[in-house]
A and B are shown apart, each in its own frame.
Chain A
């Protein structure tokens, strides 16, 4: 698959998440975000326990 570019449709994906609000684990699903009409901001960073 060629790299995503701005303007392209993002293929659906799911990732396991930690939810600080509940203290438990959850799931992030782009399909679900679209169903609920919500914007998604993906904020990638290298590693936990390091410095911004």
Chain B
């Protein structure tokens, strides 16, 4: 799909190797597992927990031009929804092609209703969504 998912923690690449080999839940994993051992990348994204030396559950989508397009951060005890991640990624791909459109909150996939903002839509979003 033109997107590379990379998991990142402050563990070393050796621990990643051992974990992927050991944990059956990870048996089918084929994405890169990155080692941010100094925490410097986590720090640059504002997800480094100084006291623990660990990263928060943060997901960041970067486009091919290197611009940060999305950020989601949860505390340690809450997982992230992968369907939502897929939705955001699909929306990003769609909007990279249709630069004058916007994906409203109910948008899930190509073909769903989008909005094309302009002066005639001001105060008339309800009509635009339901036409």
A residues adjacent to B (C-beta < 8 A)? 1, 3-13, 15-21, 23, 25-26, 28, 30, 33-34, 36-49, 52
**Contacting pair A26 B57 (CB below 8 A):** no
**What are 21 A-B contacts with C-beta separation under 8 Å?**
A3-B46, A4-B44, A8-B68, A17-B16, A17-B35, A18-B13, A18-B14, A20-B30, A39-B2, A40-B3, A41-B89, A42-B8, A42-B34, A42-B41, A43-B5, A43-B80, A44-B60, A45-B57, A46-B56, A47-B10, A48-B11
6 nearest CB pairs, A to B: A39-B3, A18-B16, A48-B19, A44-B55, A15-B34, A17-B32
With the chains together, A38 CA to B66 CA distance in Å? 9
Binding site for A on B (CB under 8 A): 2-11, 13-20, 22-23, 26, 29-36, 41-42, 44-47, 49, 52, 54-71, 76, 79-80, 85, 89, 92-93
